[in-house]
Structure 1
Amino acid sequence: MVKIAPSVLAADFSCLYEEIKRVESEADLLHFDIMDGQFVPDITFGPVVIASLRDKFNLPFEGHLMVANPTQWIVPFARAGCNIITIHRESCGDPHQLIALMREKGVKAGVALNPDTSLDSLESILSEIHLVLIMTVNPGFVGQSFIRDVLPKIRNLRQVREEKSLSFEIAVDGGINEETAGEVVEAGASVLVAGTAIFHAPDPQKALLKLKEAGSGSKDSAEKNRS
């Protein structure tokens, strides 16, 4: 099943509760891009924002740490209510320690890769993580164009998962819409992070359902082709 994770970065910050409420019934999880102004230029959500929303929604929260020092933020965001915390491979020297810390705090561990970062950097940790988040835009800004050159990376990651009999989910973040949803699912993704395509649509819930349909149709086709 294809999962859709609305990216709250694209929502109207003046009414976050109402924005999330519009998509809650059809979303599978909520994706929060947490930026510190160092790893990427912008500054977005702090733990207090996550905590203020946590008890209002039953959906899993994913905290995507676009930060220069993830060690500093894992515990605060775990305490705030994130169920999944995704760190960038580019910003952590020893991911094993950070993954262990996440497990200790009761959250699932994810690792994100920028478009130019090789899959080789994940080789030693794939058996330890719940999710790999493949960036199909360069991180830091909402509304960027999808980078199709990343599609082979998604295919290769799926192949590695199959060869090693691993169970991590493959998520894709950046430029996801009805057209690109099919491409990334066919390549191997099962979690689609989408912001602009959902929250900037006239009817966000309808837009979310269309994304899910586009992805599910491609998944069925891809599975038939591989069988």
Structure 2
Amino acid sequence: MTHRPLIIAPSILASDFARFGEEVRAIDEAGADWIHIDVMDGHFVPNISFGPEVVRAIRPLSAKFFDVHLMIAPADPYLEAFAKAGADLISVHAEAGPHLHRSLQAIRGLGRRAGVALNPATPASAIENVLDDVDLVLVMTVNPGFGGQAFIAPMLEKIARIKAMIGDRPIDIEIDGGVTKDNAAACARAGGNVLVAGSAAFKGGAAAYAGNIAAIRDAAAQARGELV
């Protein structure tokens, strides 16, 4: 079985905001493959987090891939701002607007990779007709809006369905919500290759970040047959 590359993407939503720039540098140096940036608007989800100016401010602090997850509605008016701020990939929610194809094509038109995200209650079938327009499918394994929630285990079946739907297309499957070293193997076996880790990556302070990331990576890699 061939695999998409295994990617660990710590979510800076779980970082210490009083030391934000230092935290971005620290998680980069600790072995993060991508930097996951959760954007919340207080409307689509019950919280407010970052805007494009925050992305712009931290862009010089890391050369890593910036994975921007827009939990906002509408998303289309802000795509260009996030692209210009330094996003490498922009994911929009299937539930956030009526014209999903248009949103995804707009992201690609800005020269960025395009992702589509699904809330836990949204079936995999909702993205069946846009798979040729995406580079990544993001599966929420908690209800979006807050960090620190428990992983919703039945989402593993949904991940497997999406993996089957994708077939041999070069599309990454990202798992976002409650990912830890204890469930990373199950996520990988189901078909996920991009693992977003918030609390599990940032717990224990900067000295612990490398070990946290390595534990998640090793559990997933072993499930993929890459570590014995």
TM-score, structure 1 as length reference? 0.94
* Equivalent residue letter for 2:149: Q
The aligned runs of 1:132-171 (5 Å cut-off) are 132-162=137-167, 165-171=168-174
Q: Match for residue 195 of structure 2?
A: 192
Identity of aligned residues (%): 38
Provide the alpha-carbon RMSD of the alignment: 1.5
TM-score, structure 2 as length reference? 0.94
Q: Match for residue 75 of structure 1?
A: 80
- Distance in 1 (CA, whole Å) between partners of 2:225 and 2:204 is 26
User: Residues 56 and 85 of structure 2 are in contact (CA less than 8 Å); yes or no, is this contact kept in structure 1?
Assistant: yes
Q: Match for residue 223 of structure 2?
A: 218
What per-residue deviation string (whole Å, max 9, x for no partner) do you get for residues 131-164 of structure 1? 00000000000000000011101111111122xx
* Equivalent residue letter for 2:50: F
Task: Indicate which of 173, 176, 189 corresponds to 1:173.
Answer: 176
* Equivalent residue letter for 1:135: M
What per-residue deviation string (whole Å, max 9, x for no partner) do you get for residues 116-140 of structure 1? 1011110111011000000000000
Task: Indicate which of 29, 36, 51 corresponds to 2:56.
Answer: 51
What per-residue deviation string (whole Å, max 9, x for no partner) do you get for residues 11-40 of structure 1? 001111111222213111111110011001
| Structure 2: gaps spanning 5 or more residues | none
Number of residue pairs aligned between Structure 1 and Structure 2: 221
Tell me the SS of whatever aligns to 1:24.
helix
Task: Indicate which of 8, 13, 17 corresponds to 1:4.
Answer: 8
Tell me the SS of whatever aligns to 1:186.
helix
- Distance in 2 (CA, whole Å) between partners of 1:176 and 1:51 is 27
| Structure 1: gaps spanning 5 or more residues | 222-227
- Distance in 2 (CA, whole Å) between partners of 1:53 and 1:20 is 7
Over 6 Å off, 4+ runs: none
Question: Would you tell me which structure has more helix in proportion to its own residues?
Answer: 1
